[in-house]
Structure 1
Amino acid sequence: MSVVWLIIIGAAAGFLATRFMQVRTGVVETVAIGMAGAVIGGLVLRFVVAITGALAGLVGAVLGAMLLIWLWRLYMRR
């Protein structure tokens, strides 16, 4: 099923990309362009999400540590 889905998404992506870029290609070339674009776009998106996820984890960890320090200072002063 995933191969059929890749062909369908590839055809749609290839059609849109060739229209946006004003390139006239045949059906096979359009599907191939879309499928290759889907693979490249998927890899780039996974890389960006991985980097963003790691940075989000770092930001969350820093905020959590800051909250812990604030609570520690608040209750240890007494």
Structure 2
Amino acid sequence: MRSDKFSRVLLIIIALLFFLNLVKSFIPFPYVHASEAGNDIGRYQMYTWSIEGNSQSFNPNGSYGYYIFDTKTGKILDERRNNL
């Protein structure tokens, strides 16, 4: 008896979700356009890294560094690698 009520509620929820999905397909949404060429937000990306050292590795003190990329040209603008 209890599982019958649970199944009925679950089927109603699923039917409601299908109905909402159908209604959503008839509502027009605005298209997303790319930003202007002059907008350079997010053009430069920075990648940092570090490696922990230990007494049994080839580099016991570890190392770290960074790279700065220009995402429009694909060039590396700046880099630094440090072996401690």
TM-score w.r.t. the length of structure 2 is 0.32
| Larger proportion of helix | 1
* Higher RCO (Cα < 8 Å, 6 or more apart): 1
